[in-house]
Structure formats: C-alpha cells, structure tokens
Amino acid sequence: MNILVLGGGGREHAIVWALARSPRTDNLYVAPGNGGTEGIARNVSGLDVEDGRAVLAFAEEHGIDLVVVGPEAPLVAGVADVLRAAGVAVFGPDAQGAQLEGSKTFSKEFMEAHGIPTARYASFTELEPALAYVRELGAPIVVKADGLAAGKGVVVAEDVEDAEEALRDCFDGAFGQAGSTVVVEECLTGPECSLLAFVSGGKAHCMATAQDHKRAFDGDRGPNTGGMGVYSPVPIVTPDELASMHEIMEKAAAATAEEFDCDYRGVLYGGFMLTPEGPKVLEFNARFGDPETQVVLPRLETDLVDIMMAVAEGRPGDIDLRWSEQWAVCVVLASEGYPGSYEKGKVILGIDEAEQIEGVTVFHAGTAKNFDDELVTAGGRVLNVVALGDSFDEAREKAYEACDLINFEGKQYRSDIGKRAAAGRDAWSA
C-alpha cells in the first residue's frame, strides 16, 4: 500500500513509525514531516495540508491508497471530505465531526444533548456578559477559547482577576478568530486522564489510557503547553473509572452516528477529569493526542495499517486491538523559552546513543536538517524521548537516562514526568 500521512510533529513521527512496521506498507509519504521522519518515509515539502484539492491531487498522482490526517486543522478545514468524495480512503473525520474539536461550544452542546457528563458552562461572544458571568460564579474557573489554539487556549484561573485577564486576552485577539467566542466552565477537580478510541460505524474501540503533563515546569507550574510528557497506562485509574470512561466513549461514538451526516471515521480523543462524582469529559479532540500517541502506539501490538483501513472503510467489526503489558514513558525535550519565544537552529547530538538503550525510541517533534546536513532544532517541542519498561519505574529511569545523552543548546524538560502517579492517587489530594 502507498500511504500519505499529513503533519510534521512528534505525533506524526510516531504514526509513521508504526505504519512503517507493517508488512502492508510499501511507499510511505509524510507532509511535511520532520528531521526524524525522513529516515523512514519520504518527506513532502510544499504541500498545503489544509487544502483538500491539493492533497487529493498528490494522492492521485502517487497512487495513494490511504491518507492519514494527523493534526486537527486539516480536519476542520474539510480535507477528509474532499478525499472521501473522490473515493480515497482517509483516516480522520469529516469537517462536521471535526467540530467536536474545532468548536468547544459545539462540543459542549453535543455532550449536553447526549447525556455525556461534563462541566457546567456558558458560551459568550462579547466581553461584558462573560465578565459578569465570571464575577457571579467566582473562582477557580476555566476560560477557553472556542476554536483551535494549538492546545494553549485554556486558562484555569485561580482567582477572578486572572479569569478576567484571560477573557480580555481572548476578545482582544490573543488567539485570533479562535478566541472570538469564549466558553467559561466550572473548574472540576481530580486527576486528568486521556482515553482515545478508534471510531467507525458508531462504534468505539478504546485504546490504552494515558496521562499528559500540560504545564511547562516541574510540580505542574508555569503556563500551559502542548504537553511536556506522558505515560501509559495510568496506574491511578480504578477499574470502575475505566469502565465508566469506556461507556462514555461508546456513548459518544454512537451519538456521532445519530447526529452527524457522515460516518465519523478516525480517532475520538476523550480528555477526562476523574472527579469525586466519577469521570467527566473536559474536551473531545478529533485526532490522535500529542504526546499521547507517542506512548500509546509503541504499546499497540496490532498492525496499525489493518486498523486504519478498517476504520477508513467503515468496517468496525474488523478492528482487533491488542496491547503490550509494558509501560511507556515519554519526556519532551523543548527549546529554551518554550512555550514562549525561542530560537531555532541549535545542533542536536546524542540521539543515536540514546536509542542504544533497550526499549528507547526518540520521536522528532520540531527538528530539521541544516545546510550542513546536521540535525537542528526547529520548534518549541523538539524531541519526544520514549522508553518501554517492564515496570513504571523502569520505563521512567530509561527515559531520563536517554534524555541525559541527548544535547542541544537551551535544552529544557520536566524532571518529574510520572512522579506524581508513581506516588499513588493520594498525591492528587495532598
């Protein structure tokens, strides 16, 4: 099979890595890809991945049998719609389904209509009513830009003043059009947990649990980021909570078949809060998580091409998921200054040495090659250092051992990925 993957981050490197392991994969393309994908696929530069017609033209010219859409923006832009209409198998929902991520208001209304447990909320298109609502409810409270904001349009405000500032940022254009509508939510309490599912034909096939670390610095301090580290499975989730999350994902998948014009075919990402009243959905995303994918796919023992084709062709009965019992831990190596401004072009050394450690794989997120063919930094999140181990502690130790072997100027990372979960559920009530 000839396969095209759209995207260029760590998530896409992990997807390409998993697809490349399949005996069904012949020619593998990734647009635009990065410094890590070029070793296992053909990087495609200059293709506008949000232009459905351009992607279709490439697919027809290269005899593509399957297109895998990695990021959310091409999904919201309707790339999958164009490809499906032309008869190309595509892994990823159409534009209507992608609104579950593209609009938080749409997503909340979807949850409310289908009895999916979530936080109480209100949606606003003007500043003054939003300010009045925040002052009425008080803090802590959550302010979310309605549209796509690269995972950074959410502020958990500990006091009313911070919430008011977040609202003004949104309405003053800090997130562009994404902030023209704002959702204000009650602040739920408890640990967070991600549960992704392959969805097709209104059926959800849930993946392994994962837990991301969104804050920039140790101790969950600092600004929100796209994710600084993650692990799978999540040891603090109880059997009852896991069963409840599975039930919620199955209910959501069934609701897509009831409500949407076209079959939802792709990943549905459930971001959960494990509240005292049970799991509640913080958000839905319409694609693989980043960096959750980097720990989930290495634990997947089923052929990913088989799964994606079954999803893309609407054959949910043919999806069979098998998981390794090993633990996976991912530590993100970032550029100095991330998630704020940072410099690019710093030479990266030590990846080969890191990958000599058994069970370690380094997925590239923001890398490129310079004119001297050296690997250099090209983004805020630079590398995802992933380690598999027979225990949580072993996976964590291997990941950090590998991080120490990789070097570039300004390297920054959290030193406490998984530490809280290793201490048990009580660590969230301390």
Lookup: tokens for 79: 């790339």
Which ranges in 261-391 belong to alpha helices (H)?
A: 293-296, 304-312, 351-354
Residue type for 344, please? K
What CATH number has the domain bearing residue 127? 3.30.1490.20
Residues 204 and 285 in one domain: yes
Report how far residue 366's alpha carbon sits from residue 333's, in angstroms, rounded to the nearest whole number.
10
Q: Is residue 341 part of a domain?
A: yes
Residues 151 and 31 in one domain: no
Of 133, 168, 186, which one is at a domain's C-terminal end? 186
Q: What is the pLDDT at residue 154?
A: 84
Q: What is the pLDDT at residue 151?
A: 65
Query: Rounded to the nearest 5°, which phi and psi values hold at 307?
Result: -65, -50
Confidence of residue 149 (pLDDT cuts 50, 70, 90): confident
Q: What is the pLDDT of residues 170-200, one digit of tens each?
A: 998 888 887 788 899 999 999 999 999 999 9
Place of tokens 């940022």: 169
Question: Which whole number is the average pLDDT over 37-52?
Answer: 95
Residues 163 and 228 in one domain: no
Bridge partner residues of 176 (DSSP): none
Lookup: tokens for 39: 């070793």
Of 276, 298, 318, which one is at a domain's C-terminal end? 318
What CATH number has the domain bearing residue 37? 3.40.50.20
Of 186, 204, 221, which one is at a domain's C-terminal end? 186
Residues 65 and 137 in one domain: no
Q: Is residue 99 part of a domain?
A: no
26 within 8 A of 20, measured Cβ to Cβ: no
Residues 11 and 83 in one domain: yes
185 within 8 A of 119, measured Cβ to Cβ: yes
For residue 156, what are the contacts with CB-CB under 8 A and spacing of at least 6? Answer: 140, 142, 187
String of b and e for 325-343 (b: at least 16 CB within 10 Å)? ebbbbbbbbbbbebbeebe
Residues 182 and 195 in one domain: no
* Residue of 181, 134, 197 lying closest to 161 (CA atoms): 134
Report how far residue 89's alpha carbon sits from residue 69's, in angstroms, rounded to the nearest whole number.
11
Lookup: tokens for 156: 């958990």
Select the more confidently predicted residue: 57 or 155: 57
Report how far residue 2's alpha carbon sits from residue 309's, in angstroms, rounded to the nearest whole number.
12
What CATH number has the domain bearing residue 298? 3.30.470.20
Q: What is the CA radius of gyration of the chain?
A: 21
239 preceded by a cis bond (ω within 30 of 0) = no
Residues 211 and 313 in one domain: yes
Q: Is residue 385 part of a domain?
A: yes
Question: Which whole number is the average pLDDT over 234-260?
Answer: 96
* Number of folded domains that form the chain: 4
Give the Å distances, CA to CA, from 56 to 37, 67, 72, 202.
22, 9, 18, 26
Q: What is the pLDDT at residue 430?
A: 57
Q: Is residue 176 part of a domain?
A: yes
Domain that holds residue 333: 327-424
Q: Is residue 406 part of a domain?
A: yes
Q: Is residue 14 part of a domain?
A: yes
Lookup: tokens for 311: 């999803």
Residues 311 and 403 in one domain: no
Query: Rounded to the nearest 5°, which phi and psi values hold at 308?
Result: -65, -35
- Report the SS3 class of residue 218: coil
Q: Is residue 160 part of a domain?
A: yes
6 within 8 A of 67, measured Cβ to Cβ: yes
Question: Which whole number is the average pLDDT over 306-331?
Answer: 97
Q: Is residue 196 part of a domain?
A: yes
Residues 344 and 414 in one domain: yes
Place of tokens 């406490």: 416
What CATH number has the domain bearing residue 376? 3.90.600.10
Residues 311 and 345 in one domain: no
Residues 49 and 153 in one domain: no
Residues 205 and 306 in one domain: yes
Share of the chain above pLDDT 90, in %: 84
User: Given a cut of 70, is residue 110 above it in pLDDT?
Assistant: yes
125: DSSP letter: S
Report how far residue 294's alpha carbon sits from residue 15's, in angstroms, rounded to the nearest whole number.
8
Question: Which whole number is the average pLDDT over 325-332?
Answer: 98
